[in-house]
């Protein structure tokens, strides 16, 4: 099938909460499952008006499970104040139209938000809302090791808290090595009677300090953007080094460090978060709500020519030349990707997934060559490259 997609059959469709449903997927051709790492996601081709769209969903299962993959999806209906707006394309298609027995098109697991399986450090998983999905897969991975782990989760209330039983089983089987802590912002009377949450309000400094003995943890977090900003700020205040904090955005990928350093201003939620996610700002402390709509970017140097002419790029002596902006930079492996190098140089190329899926970061390569550390889902035409998932091979000149 074109573009690396295979057909998978929905072996089971299981409601997990009022708004979240799991889909158990088996290869329709009877072939093997994909190899995957805990934390990775699948890409689905979703039928839509005007052609298919791609949507990514984290694996929520134990990736060692031999019979199926599982994704767990929150239905993103139109906002309550948006009568004229459409429902979310992918999640509502899955919830409303894909039933057990249906076949869907799926591309192989990808993503760098993965459990560091080579480490024996204790792990803290911080989940907000449906952001629990990749972390639950990691929790399954951790259950098969001797590592200590804390699964700290924030939900509005029990009605939207998915997969609590599965987490409790992992905790019970771990002999005290794995602990879970659940915080409801607004528990109902039924929640208070059920006693399945341990705190009310937000995951804040007091909650983490009471839970976590002093240690050298690895932190993994996923949830609404304001939730992650609040958690990142807290962890950095605790002195956790940046390289011990891994995170995944369910919206447009961006830098949490830059968001966390942005001073709080007007009380509003990041507009980049899908509206349904932005509505969950209350999962975290109100101080985190003031996230700007756009990442601060250093302005391009107005002294630089807007466009270089043929041959001019030789004047720019970096390994990587951004010809249109008249900037250049030395390549370092620590930069990660050409996109990140461009951002460090103060440029703001277009991007969305930062994972080789959407082709938003596609640009012309004027000179030189690149190598991909993540294969593009749809390779760009000759003479163009995806900068979010590539590094230079020697000197390159890009039309940026
Ligand atoms: C790496 C990664 C992993 C992910 N894993 C998961 C996962 O495990 N589970 C999960 O549930 N999600 C996950 N997501 C999110 C998922 O990919 C989708 O973004 C999500 O399901 C919403 O997609 P959609 O097509 O349903 O909604 P979209 O069509 O993208 O719409 C999003 C929201 O915007 C609203 N909207 C649409 N048009 C407008 C408009 N004009 N004005 C205002 N609002 C509008 C819609 O009503 C909807 O609420 C993940 C995302 C990433 C990047
Ligand atoms: S940003 Fe999506 S492919 Fe590069």
Q: Are 388 and 351 in contact (CB under 8 A)?
A: yes
Residue 116 pLDDT level (bands cut at 50, 70, 90): very high
For the CA of 133, the nearest atom of ligand 1: 8
**How is residue 317 written in tokens?**
């002596």
pLDDT per position as a tens digit, 17-76: 999 999 999 999 999 999 999 999 999 999 998 889 999 999 999 999 999 999 999 999
Residues 259-285, mean pLDDT to the nearest whole number: 44
> Which residues lie across from 46 on neighbouring strands?
53
Q: Is the CB of 87 under 6 A from ligand 1?
A: yes
3-state secondary structure 199-240: EECCCCHHHHHHHCCCCCCEEEEECCHHHHHHHHHHHHHCCC
**Residue 311 confidence (pLDDT) above 80:** no
Kindly identify the ligand whose nearest atom is closest to the C-alpha of 252: 1
> Among the atoms of ligand 1, which is closest to the Cα of residue 20?
11
The bridge status of strand 53-58 relative to strand 41-46 is antiparallel
The confidence band for 81, taking pLDDT boundaries of 50, 70 and 90, is confident
Q: Which residues pair with 105 in a beta bridge?
A: 7, 45
3-class DSSP state of 145: coil
Give the Å distances, CA to CA, from 363 to 26, 138, 352, 367, 399. Answer: 36, 35, 14, 12, 6
Question: Mean pLDDT across the chain, nearest whole number?
Answer: 87
pLDDT value of residue 296? 32
Nearest CA to ligand 1 atom 32: 88
Instruction: Report the pLDDT value the prediction gives residue 309, as an integer from 0 to 100.
Output: 53
Highest mean pLDDT among 142-151, 268-277, 289-298, 333-342: 142-151
Rounded distance, CA 43 to CA 107, Å?
Answer: 5
- 73 Cβ below 6 A of ligand 1: yes
> What pLDDT, on the 0 to 100 scale, is given for residue 51?
87
What is the model's pLDDT at position 4?
80
**Any atom of ligand 1 within 6 Å of the Cβ of 184:** no
**Rounded CA separation 247/249 (Å):** 7
pTM: 0.85
pLDDT (mean) for 287-291: 31
The answer, yes or no, to whether any atom of ligand 1 lies below 6 A from the CB of 69, is no
Judge whether 260 and 247 are in contact, CB under 8 Å.
no
Mean pLDDT of the region 86-112: 96
Residue-range domains of the chain with CATH: 2-110 (2.40.30.10), 123-288 (3.40.50.80), 312-398 (3.10.20.30)
Percent of the chain with pLDDT over 90: 74
Question: Ligand 1: does its nearest atom lie under 6 Å from the Cβ of 75?
Answer: no
Q: Which residues contact 161 (CB under 8 A, 6 or more apart)?
A: 17, 153, 155, 182, 184, 196, 197
In this predicted structure, the answer to whether residue 197 has a pLDDT above a threshold of 90 is yes
250 lines ligand 1 (CB under 6 A): yes
Residue 288 is predicted with a pLDDT of 32
pLDDT value, residue 17: 97
Amino acid 253: pLDDT: 79
For 338-369, write each residue's pLDDT tens digit: 999 999 899 999 988 889 999 999 999 999 99
Overall average pLDDT of the 372-398 stretch? 94
Check residue 281 and give its pLDDT.
31
Q: Looking at the predicted structure, is the pLDDT value of residue 142 above 70?
A: yes
Q: Ligand 2 center to residue 11 CA distance, Å?
A: 31
Rounded to the nearest angstrom, the distance between the alpha carbon of 169 and the centre of ligand 1 is 30
Phi and psi based region of residue 373 (left: phi greater than 0; alpha: psi -120 to 50; beta: remaining): alpha
**Confidence band, pLDDT 50/70/90 cuts, at residue 211:** very high
Pocket test for ligand 2, best of 41, 358, 378 (most atoms within 8 A of CB): 358
Centre of ligand 1 to C-alpha 249, Å, is: 11
Strands 327-329 and 199-200, how do they pair? unpaired
Is the CB of 274 inside a 6 Å radius of any atom of ligand 1?
A: yes
For residue 301, pLDDT over 70 is answered with no
- Which residue would you say has higher pLDDT here, 195 or 271? 195
Strands 69-74, 20-27: parallel, antiparallel or unpaired by DSSP?
antiparallel
Q: Is 113 in the pocket of ligand 1 (CB under 6 A)?
A: no
Across the range 292-314, mean pLDDT stands at: 43
């Amino acid at each position: 099938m074109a573009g690396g997609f295979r057909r998978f059959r929905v072996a089971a469709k299981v409601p997990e909460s009022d708004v979240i449903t799991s889909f158990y997927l088996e290869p329709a051709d009877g072939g093997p499952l994909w190899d995957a790492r805990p934390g990775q996601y699948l890409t689905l081709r979703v039928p839509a008006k005007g052609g298919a769209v791609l949507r990514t969903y984290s694996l929520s299962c134990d990736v060692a499970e031999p019979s199926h993959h599982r994704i767990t999806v929150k239905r993103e209906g139109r906002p309550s104040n948006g009568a004229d707006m459409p429902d979310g394309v992918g999640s509502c298609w899955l919830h409303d139209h894909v039933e057990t027995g249906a076949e869907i098109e799926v591309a192989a697991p990808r993503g760098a938000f993965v459990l560091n399986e080579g480490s024996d450090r204790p792990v803290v998983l911080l989940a907000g809302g449906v952001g629990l999905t990749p972390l639950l897969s990691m929790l399954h991975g951790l259950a098969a090791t001797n590592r200590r782990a804390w699964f700290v989760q924030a939900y509005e209330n029990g009605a939207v808290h998915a997969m609590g039983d599965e987490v409790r089983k992992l905790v019970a089987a771990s002999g005290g090595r794995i602990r879970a802590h659940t915080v409801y912002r607004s528990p109902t009377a039924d929640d208070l009677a059920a006693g399945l949450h341990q705190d009310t309000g937000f995951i804040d400094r007091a909650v983490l300090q009471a839970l976590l003995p002093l240690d050298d943890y690895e932190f993994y977090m996923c949830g609404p953007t304001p939730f992650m900003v609040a958690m990142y700020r807290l962890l950095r205040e605790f002195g956790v080094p940046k390289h011990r904090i891994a995170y995944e955005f369910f919206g447009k990928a961006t830098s949490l460090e830059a968001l966390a350093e942005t001073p709080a201003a007007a009380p509003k939620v990041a507009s980049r978060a899908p509206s349904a996610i932005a509505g969950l700002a209350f999962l975290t402390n109100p101080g985190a709500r003031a996230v700007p709509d756009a990442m601060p970017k250093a302005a391009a140097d107005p002294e630089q020519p807007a466009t270089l002419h043929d041959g001019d790029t030789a004047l720019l002596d970096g390994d990587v030349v951004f010809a249109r902006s008249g900037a250049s930079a030395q390549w370092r492996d620590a930069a990660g990707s050409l996109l990140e190098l461009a951002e460090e140089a103060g440029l703001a190329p277009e991007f969305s997934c930062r994972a080789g899926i959407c082709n938003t970061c596609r640009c012309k390569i004027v000179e030189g060559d690149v190598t991909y550390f993540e294969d593009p889902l749809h390779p760009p035409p000759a003479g163009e490259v995806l900068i979010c998932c590539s590094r230079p091979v020697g000197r390159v000149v890009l039309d940026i």
